[in-house]
Amino acid sequence: MPYHHEQIGRLFIVSMLIGVAIALAVGFPLASNPKGAPGSVALIFFIGALIALLMVAFARLGIDVGTDPGGHARLRWAMTFGWPGATIPLSAIARARIIPVTFWMGIGIHFTLSGWVWNVALGRGVQIRKRDGGDVVLGTDDPEGLLAAISDARAAAGPP
């Protein structure tokens, strides 16, 4: 049975909304000042729009366990618009386990001591150890469901 789960990063959204509010709070007074530099006003509004776009693009993480169009079992994850994202064939997974996703790991997509982290919120996640030795941590508010889906799909697919 395919698995699909999406998590919305509420703290991420709030922090980005604060950034947009600050850009607008600085931009509107400059825009209403006739002596203000028009280039700086445009830059501030551009920064606000960029923050808003990033907020939407990185606010949601979708994770799927299933088969690709070729029928191969795989684990796939992606941010809001489907990019950035990545895929791992289930046969390339050596093990998976639930771990805490702490403040020190941060929020977003980045490399840590635990491997590549993809998350939109703090809490818990599933650490994937690939057969080639690389690690990926997928933050999720359903780590038990994700771990069970990976285990079930690997069992159904048979040995690598």
The string of pLDDT tens digits covering residues 93-149 is 999 999 999 888 888 899 988 789 999 988 999 999 999 989 999 999 999 999 999
With a cut of 90, say whether residue 29 has pLDDT above it. no
Summarize the confidence of residues 40-56 as an average pLDDT. Answer: 78
- 32-to-19, 29, 36, 69 alpha-carbon distances in Å: 20, 5, 8, 55
What pLDDT is attached to residue 34?
62
What pLDDT is attached to residue 30?
65
Least-confidence region, from 36-50, 54-68, 110-124: 36-50
- 86-to-3, 25, 62, 94, 115 alpha-carbon distances in Å: 16, 37, 11, 17, 14
Q: Give the C-alpha separation, 56 to 79, whole Å.
A: 9
- 27-to-42, 51, 55 alpha-carbon distances in Å: 8, 14, 19
Q: Can you name the residues that pair with 78 across neighbouring β-strands? A: 62, 85
Residue 26, token pair as written in the block: 């600085």
More confident residue, 36 or 151: 151
Q: Give the C-alpha separation, 45 to 52, whole Å.
A: 11
With a cut of 90, say whether residue 14 has pLDDT above it. no
With a cut of 90, say whether residue 64 has pLDDT above it. yes
Q: What is the pTM of this model?
A: 0.82
Task: For residue 51, give the nearest of 89, 77, 12 by alpha carbon.
Answer: 12
The identity of residue 117, as a single letter, is V
- Determine how many CB atoms are found less than 10 A away from the CB of residue 125: 29
